Chain A
């Protein structure tokens, strides 16, 4: 009788051990399969992203160049009104137009901030606040234009705002 029980115990013991091992293996297997699926999904998503990235790259490859050029464009903006000789002034103006035309082909748009317009931090950067005969929070003077590259604002217009 005892022997039978012992044998049964051992069998049950063996069965439960093997159950534990099976359960653990199942868990491990599920873990690994999940991980594998995840890695595969990440890869597929990466490939999809890459298509987006390439088109972004194409559009914004010139972004660095444009950012550097903006300081040069600013100089033109400042120079034009200061030239007293009409021909020189016109000359500078035309050079600026040339630059503008080229940049427009690459998706650069200038935004000009006009006096009287409300200050909008989505488009403008306030450089100074001044006393003025204008409604508070409106633009008094544009110190430098802003630039869009396609739909991305790469330099806000620099403005003086009324107190």
Chain B
């Protein structure tokens, strides 16, 4: 079955996603961007432009660059909303034959759905280029407050673009799908969508089979753009105070200011202060002038507080309209780029007394949800295919009492992983496989799932045998651990029932413990590794001296023996640094053995420096 495209057809920007490998994935467009301006234009040279290109020439072609057509689609010309927008939209709008809306682009009048179809057609073409196959079906999102006529018009836009529209779904519902909240029956969810140009609130209730919209609210003319405007106004004013010049009249200065304002807004979401630095912003009789000003997060929050406060009031109203109290709300979802602002996240958290869901990119969450819906239609999301993950790391105990992971936590199952291990001592003929579960680096701090022994390993120097250990966990969480000696093919295995499955609370508790002990656990592990290295170094050194035999002078042998003693002295202590430097010194000393042997080969004396 071909892929179905999930589309967020936004007022200012659009995005699209498909389900790939069971996961929704945003598709980049031809320009390499994850979102696209919902703009179409007929250029001065009569070329049809859509998306970013259309936006780039909007300043020189305002009458023929159609943006925000979503404000008009499916509406009657006499709608107060249409009349209000007509007053500020730069392109021509007229009443159509049947009382609807028509816009002029180039030398023709178009229905709003024809304009949206151009945007959708570009999304279709770019998606097909990205996935390498034809896409004929789509799921398109609309605001929850859209009426039948607006929904039908949106559907028509999809069909004009060449799609069979499988479904029109509500934007807040898509957001809930994206977070998987549609499975939480009877819960009440608020979606707080603060986009570029509009602010939408929806109160949803999860029914048995559907997501019900209890109420909607918001402000169709409140968005992140208003925040940018406020910042620009502030900067223009500050500069006027500084140099007495109004830079808003200068096209380039204003453009730079806009970009700086946006950059500052983004930075202040993570930093408490930012610098707006615009050299050569303008010039006057005395020469070039510069504008550099610091802006704090506090100042930004002060500037936009009225907008945020308004949004909170609107949320309260909308929840009341649903016949609910704030305390009835179980989950809150944040949508729209502007919700990245800490002040907004704080305001929402404070209002509802809970953390809102914001893990998914707020600019993309609606498209992701549309793709989830598309995936359900495609059959990609069969219940039977819902895969689990193993919540805790699984591994075995290795040299020094350390736990070596074989399957990391959060690995999707069913899965199988193998690793090759070896022996710790010369002539070791059996290995004990101690199967562990947990997050702590030291074996004793984790849970023992099983122990078994594989014997019959041919006597060999330590580190030579190859024992392949395979962990295989099936979809039901049953773990099989097998150990095979590659030389003899001798095998031993054990099967561990999933009755060792821990509850969600226990898993959380174990993870917390690991976090709390992380520091000391790390030190323990470093110490163990240092000691292992030390032992290995001693073993190799003794072996090297033995093998060199008569070819190496007694001085060198004594020096090496001294370094070995030095290591033995610190090995049992807990000074990692001391162990490491003792090992390093032995290593240097050992090199002299090789040097000496090569010198003898070449007839050079052992100590060339002494001759001088």
Contacts and interface: CB of A to CB of B under 8 A. Distances in A.
Interface of A: 35, 39, 42-43, 46, 71, 74-75, 78-79, 82, 84, 118-119, 121-122, 124-129, 136-137, 143-144, 152-153, 156, 158, 160-161
A41 B257 CA distance: 49
A26 to B, nearest CB: 17
B491 interface: no
Contact of B21 (A42, A75, A78, A79): A42
B201 to A, nearest CB: 33
B279 A79 contact: yes
B367 to A, nearest CB: 19
Interface residues of B, number: 33
A46 B385 CA distance: 19
29 contacts: A35-B382, A39-B21, A39-B22, A42-B20, A42-B21, A71-B259, A71-B263, A74-B256, A78-B279, A79-B279, A82-B283, A119-B57, A121-B49, A122-B53, A124-B56, A125-B56, A126-B59, A127-B251, A127-B252, A128-B252, A129-B59, A136-B44, A137-B45, A143-B255, A144-B252, A153-B31, A160-B251, A161-B59, A161-B60
B195 to A, nearest CB: 23
Most buried by A among B54, B57, B61, B260: B57
Given A79-B280, A127-B251, A121 B56 contact: yes
B252 A121 contact: no
Interface of B: 20-22, 31-32, 43-45, 49, 53-54, 56-61, 251-252, 255-256, 259-260, 263, 278-280, 283, 287-288, 379, 382, 385
A121 B53 contact: yes
A121 B287 contact: no
Given A43-B21, A46-B20, A125-B56, A82 B256 contact: no
B387 to A, nearest CB: 10
B57 to A, nearest CB: 4
Given A35-B382, A42-B21, A78-B280, A126 B255 contact: no
Contacts of A128: 59, 251-252
B44 A75 contact: no
Contacts of B56: 121, 124-126, 156
User: Which A-B residue pairs are the 9 nearest by beta carbons?
Assistant: A128-B251, A78-B280, A126-B60, A82-B288, A125-B56, A121-B53, A121-B56, A42-B21, A121-B57
Contacts, number: 74
A137 B61 CA distance: 10
Contacts of A127: 59, 251-252, 255
Given A79-B280, A127-B252, A121 B288 contact: no
A136 B61 CA distance: 12
A152 B59 contact: no
Nearest to B378: A38
B43 A121 contact: yes
Contacts of A42: 20-22
Contacts of A78: 279-280
**What's the dominant secondary structure at chain B's contact region?**
mixed
Given A43-B21, A127-B255, A137-B45, A119 B60 contact: yes
A27 to B, nearest CB: 13
Contacts of B32: 152
Contacts of B20: 42, 46
Contacts of B382: 35
A37 to B, nearest CB: 12
A46 B259 contact: no
Given A46-B21, A144-B252, A126 B279 contact: no
Contacts of B43: 121
A148 B20 CA distance: 31
A136 B382 CA distance: 59
A142 B56 CA distance: 14
A79 B382 CA distance: 61
Nearest to B62: A129
B45 A158 contact: no
Contacts of A122: 53
B252 A143 contact: yes
A46 B25 CA distance: 12
Most buried by B among A35, A46, A125: A125
Contacts of A156: 56
B279 to A, nearest CB: 5
Contacts of A118: 45
Contacts of A143: 251-252, 255
Contacts of A35: 379, 382, 385
Contacts of B21: 39, 42-43, 46
A79 B58 CA distance: 28
A78 B385 CA distance: 59
B176 to A, nearest CB: 26
Given A119-B57, A129-B59, A136-B44, 18 more contacts: A35-B382, A74-B256, A75-B278, A79-B279, A79-B288, A119-B60, A121-B49, A121-B57, A125-B56, A126-B56, A127-B251, A127-B252, A128-B251, A128-B252, A143-B251, A158-B252, A161-B59, A161-B60
Nearest to A46: B21
A121 B52 CA distance: 9
Contact of B54 (A39, A46, A121, A158): A121
Given A42-B21, A119-B60, A144-B252, A137 B44 contact: yes
Contact of B255 (A39, A124, A158): A158
B252 to A, nearest CB: 5
Contacts of A121: 43, 49, 53-54, 56-57
Contact of B57 (A39, A79, A84, A126): A126
A125 B56 CA distance: 5
A75 B287 CA distance: 16
A71 B280 CA distance: 12
A58 to B, nearest CB: 15
Given A121-B43, A136-B44, A129 B60 contact: yes
Contacts of B278: 75
A100 to B, nearest CB: 18
Nearest to A153: B31
A111 B162 CA distance: 37
A153 B52 CA distance: 12
Contacts of A39: 21-22
A129 B53 CA distance: 17
B383 to A, nearest CB: 13
A75 B281 CA distance: 9
A79 B49 CA distance: 35
Most buried by B among A78, A82, A121: A121
